[in-house]
């Protein structure tokens, strides 16, 4: 699996959009971009994933650049409960199945 690069920490004001960047310049054509988050002391929680097109669900939006070398996770209206470590992972859906968790971005939502 390709490695990813994320900023170690970010702050966001409550109610504002949180934009979390991720670089994955060595991503392969068959690898998807997955985002998970881990709220303190809990198991990781799946957020969203995509291949080429932008994706949106009830939790977040995922914007993937045209060259697929980077992406941005957007939490449109951050709440205090969104404070967590956010992990960007690239992974093929076939073949090796384990997820490689890097160090992630620690997002702190400020009241």
Partner 1 sequence: NAGVMQNPRHLVRRRGQEARLRCSPMKGHSHVYWYRQLPEEGLKFMVYLQKENIIDESGMPKERFSAEFPKEGPSILRIQQVVRGDSAAYFCASSPPSQRSNYGYTFGSGTRLTVV
Cα of 17 vs its chain's centroid, Å:
14
Of the candidates 29, 31, 50, 6, the residue with the CA atom closest to the CA atom of residue 90: 31
Tell me how far, at minimum, the Cβ of 16 lies from partner 1, in Å: 27
Contacts with partner 1, residue ranges (CB under 8 A): 34, 36, 38, 41-46, 49, 87, 93-94, 96-104
Tell me how far, at minimum, the Cβ of 74 lies from partner 1, in Å: 18
- Residue 104 · residue 5 · CB < 8 Å: no
Tell me how far, at minimum, the Cβ of 37 lies from partner 1, in Å: 11
Of 19 and 38, the one with the shorter C-beta distance to partner 1 is: 38
CA–CA distance, 110 with 16 (Å, rounded to integer): 10
Of 41 and 67, the one with the shorter C-beta distance to partner 1 is: 41
CA–CA distance, 71 with 110 (Å, rounded to integer): 24
Of 56 and 93, the one with the shorter C-beta distance to partner 1 is: 93
Of 7 and 44, the one with the shorter C-beta distance to partner 1 is: 44
Give me the phi and psi of 81, to 5 degrees please.
Answer: -70, -10
């Amino acid at each position: 699996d390709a490695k990813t690069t994320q900023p170690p920490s970010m702050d966001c004001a409550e109610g504002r959009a949180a934009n979390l960047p991720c670089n994955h310049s060595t991503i392969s054509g068959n690898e998807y971009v997955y985002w998970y988050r881990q709220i303190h002391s809990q198991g990781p929680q799946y957020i969203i994933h995509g291949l080429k097109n932008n994706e949106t669900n009830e939790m977040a939006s995922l914007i993937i650049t045209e060259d697929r070398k980077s992406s941005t996770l957007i939490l449109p209206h951050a709440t205090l409960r969104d404070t967590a470590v956010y992990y960007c992972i690239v992974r093929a859906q076939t073949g090796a199945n384990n997820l490689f968790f890097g160090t992630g971005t620690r997002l702190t939502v400020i009241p």
